[in-house]
Amino acid sequence: MSQSLAPSPRLVANAALKATTASPPVAFDVERIRADFPILGLTVAGKPLVYLDNAASSQMPQAVIDRLVRYQTHEHANIHRAVHYLSETATAAYEAARITLQRFINAAEAREVIFTSGTTESINLVAQSWGRQNIRAGDEIILTVLEHHSNIVPWQMLAQEKGATIRVVPMNDAGELLLDQYQALFNEHTRLVSVGHVSNALGSIHPVKEMIAFAHARGVPVLVDGAQAAPHLALDVQDLDCDFYAFSGHKLCGPTGIGILYGRAALLEAMPPFKGGGDMIHTVTFEKTTYAPIPNKFEAGTPPIAAAIGLAAAADYLGGIGMAAIAAHEHDLLAYATAHLAAIPGVRLLGTAQHKAAVLSFALQGIHPHDVGTLLNQEGVAVRTGHHCAQPLMARLGVAATSRASFAFYNTRADVDALVAGIRTVQKVFA
C-alpha cells in the first residue's frame, strides 16, 4: 500500500531504448521465421505438427522465450516499491515495455496503455469503471452479432444492473456488418459502441474507422476489441480515433495472462479505479483514500511483470518482421486455403467477407466438427472446433459449431496442403 517509487531516469531510458528499437524489416523468409519457433519442430501422432489454431493462441518465438528467461534469472523483483538494484531494473523494464506497446499501437502517450490480464479484463475494466459511471436506465449499448462472448457478457451484466438495453448490428450471409442498419440503431439513448475489429470465428475485418467516425459525430464513444486484429494488422489508435482498444498478448506471440487496454487519457483520468489495492493509491487513511494517476490507478497489486516484458519482446519481434509483410503472407495463405477447401466436395465455408484476416471456418457435410478436429489431430493438424465463444453468431449461421483453421505468419502453403489432405482423410473415414 506504500506510494510508488520511481526508478532512476538512466535505467528507464536505457531499458526503453533497448525495448523499443526493433530491427529493420527484412525480406519475408518463412523458413527462417519458422526456425525461430522451437515448438514447430514437434511431432504429433508421429507426424509433423501443423499448427492452425493461432486465433486461440499463437506460438512464441525463441526471442520472447529468451527475454522471459533473462528477466527471471537476472532481473526479477517487485516493481515501484524499492530503491535497490533489482527493483529499479525490473521497474525500468516494465515501464519500457509500456513504451514499446505505446509505439506498437501508436498511442499518444505511454500513460494511455494499461496492462491487464488480457482482452477480457480490459473490456470488463471499461464496463465496470466507465460503464457504471456513465450508463443509466434507458440507455443503449450497440454491439454486433459477430462479437466474442467477452464483448457481450460484460455489457449484458452492466445493462442488467443499470436497466440499459443492448442493440445488435446484423450481418449479411458473407459475415459482413450491415452498416446502414448500424447507423439506423443510433438515437438519443445511444451511449456506447463496442465492436470487434476482426471476427475470431470468421475472420471478417470490420470497417471500424468508419463506424467510429459515425459514432463520434453523434457524441458516442467506441471501444474496439482488437484481440484478433493485433496479430494481423498494423494498429494505429490515433488514426482509428477510438476511445478504447483492447488486445491480448498470447494471440501475438507473447505470454498468456497479459494484455493491454488503451484509453484516451482524458477518459481514463475521469474513470474510477476498477480494483483497489497496493500501488494504485497516492495516500491511504481509514477515512479517505486518494488514487495514483494513470496508468497506476488501474494496475492494483503486483502486475504481471514478466508477462508485460515478454509482450514487449513479442511486439519488437513482430515489428522486426513488419506487419505489412505479415499481412501479405497471411493473405496469400488465406487465399490459397480458401480456394483449395472450396474445391473439396462436401465442404462448406462459413464467412466469405471481402476483407478478412487469416481465419477459415468450415463445416464438413454429415460430420460433426468435434470429430473433424479429433481426426485431424491424428494427422498432426491442430484446428479449433466448437462455437468459438460466439454462440449468437453460430445461431445466425444456423450451426452449433464449426471447424476453424487460423493461420499465422509462420504457417506455409505446405501447412494448408496438410489440412486439405487431412480433410480428405476425415471424409474417407465417414464415407
Q: Which amino acids are annotated catalytic?
A: 389
Residue 279 CB contacts under 8 Å (≥ 6 apart), including other chains: 4, 80, 81, 292, 296, 299, 300, 301, 302, 303
